[in-house]
Amino acid sequence: MKRIGILLLSAILIFSLAACQNSSSSSSSASSETLGDMVDDILPDGDYSQLRTGLGIASNTAGSSIASADTPGSANFNVTVCALTLQPDGSIVDIRFDTVEAGLGFDAAGAMSGDWSREIQTNRELGDEYGIRATSGIDREWYEQIASLEDWMRGKMVPDVLKMKLTARESDGMQIPDEEDLRTLVNIPVSDQLAALQKAYADAQRAG
């Protein structure tokens, strides 16, 4: 438990973004939560000393492409973070995910294009501006889907969650949940979330 303070501070940075879910118009609204409020949101009431925490990060460069004389290339870098709190028996007390999807274009000579000064927001921060509600097929934004995924995971054992049934999404073949409780709630790819969870679980076991 020596690292719980550091992990909590890291987790708070992620979890504070969850306040964006409560905004119906824009996820950039400022949160009025105090630091203590956020800690109370992360951990349940009771004896914290028996809980284990872990942080996991998974990344990929999916969607990157090589530039040619006629077509610009792109360098994409996606990072998914998982903050995890476990009971002594290994069941999930709380879990939160967030993702950053960043990228820049470049030409065949290697010259970069795009707005370097643009602020990069996480998927939670983007809220409704992430923009998949209309095309999701289930009328749900990314932050709503990830909240349902987190709810489904709470109370379960991590090894059981990692065995989640998956199926290939028809549009692009990416892996989405095929659990009965999630079919109408989540159809975003979850491979990176599961990879980040696995790393957070290993981190929590080392810290226990």
| pTM, rounded to two decimals | 0.73
Contact 81, 174 (CB under 8 A): no
How do the domains of the chain map onto residue ranges?
4-207
User: What tokens appear for 115 in the block?
Assistant: 């707005």
Cα–Cα distance measured from residue 164 to residue 200, given in angstroms and rounded to the nearest whole number: 17
Residue ranges in 16-141 assigned as alpha helix (H): 35-42, 123-126
The mean pLDDT value for 99-116 works out to: 77
**What confidence tens digit (pLDDT) does each residue in 6-39 have?**
344 344 444 443 433 344 334 333 334 443 454 4
Cα–Cα distance measured from residue 122 to residue 155, given in angstroms and rounded to the nearest whole number: 26
**What confidence tens digit (pLDDT) does each residue in 38-96 have?**
445 555 555 667 889 999 999 887 777 777 777 877 777 899 999 999 998 899 999 99
Query: What is the distance, to the nearest Å, from the Cα of residue 39 to the centroid of all Cα atoms in its chain?
Result: 19
**Under CATH, which number does the domain 4-207 receive?**
3.90.1010.10
